[in-house]
């Protein structure tokens, strides 16, 4: 009986490596860039576009989280991560907002968005969500 898939195990190993690298003073932004560079096809295109949107619309710091491109607030808490579809063999990438994101809207609000393409309208919508997530 397998409790975790090989992809989930790889993500756990990646987070252990990230914590070790952080203790050694590694460049977290460079690790994020490398994670994006390692992607292929649509995942890479979407990750690059999302990375630009984060840089243009927030002051979040790029890093990796479970081996995925992620963006943290000044306290180091992950606000949002880009989960490539290929990482877990699913048909779409996702933008996954974490506890530090200020998207609260009553008793129910979305924290994840499936992403297959990104046109100009999508970029505007994502930029607005990013700004809300960081309280801008």
SS3 string, 1-34, reads CCCCCHHHHHHHHHHHHHHHHHHCCCCHHHHHHH
In a domain, 1, yes or no: no
Number of alpha helices (DSSP H) and beta strands (DSSP E) in the chain: 4, 5
pLDDT band, very low/low/confident/very high, at 62 (cuts 50, 70, 90): very high
In a domain, 28, yes or no: yes
What pLDDT, on the 0 to 100 scale, is given for residue 15?
65
Give me the number of domains the chain comprises. Answer: 1
In a domain, 36, yes or no: yes
In a domain, 67, yes or no: yes
Average pLDDT, the chain: 90
Q: Has residue 1 got a pLDDT over 90? A: no
In a domain, 53, yes or no: yes
| Burial bucket for residue 10 (CB in 10 Å: 0-12, 13-18, 19+) | middle
In a domain, 39, yes or no: yes
Query: 38 lies in which domain range?
Result: 6-133
pLDDT band, very low/low/confident/very high, at 23 (cuts 50, 70, 90): low
What pLDDT, on the 0 to 100 scale, is given for residue 6?
73
DSSP code at position 88: G
Between 24 and 35, whose confidence is greater? 35
In a domain, 61, yes or no: yes
What pLDDT, on the 0 to 100 scale, is given for residue 87?
86
Q: Has residue 73 got a pLDDT over 70? A: yes
In a domain, 24, yes or no: yes
Predicted TM-score of the model (pTM): 0.86
């Amino acid at each position: 009986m397998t409790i975790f898939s090989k992809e989930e195990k790889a993500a756990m190993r990646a987070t252990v490596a990230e914590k070790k690298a952080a203790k050694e003073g590694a460049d977290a932004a460079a690790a994020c860039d490398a994670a994006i560079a390692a992607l292929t096809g649509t995942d890479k295109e979407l990750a690059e576009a999302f990375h630009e949107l984060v840089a243009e619309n927030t002051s979040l710091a790029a890093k990796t989280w479970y081996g995925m491109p992620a963006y943290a607030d000044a306290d180091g808490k992950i606000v949002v991560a880009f989960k490539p579809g290929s990482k877990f063999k699913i048909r779409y990438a996702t933008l996954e907002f974490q506890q530090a994101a200020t998207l609260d809207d009553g008793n129910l609000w979305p924290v994840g968005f499936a992403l297959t393409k990104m046109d100009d309208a999508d970029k505007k919508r994502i930029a607005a969500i990013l700004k809300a997530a960081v309280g801008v």
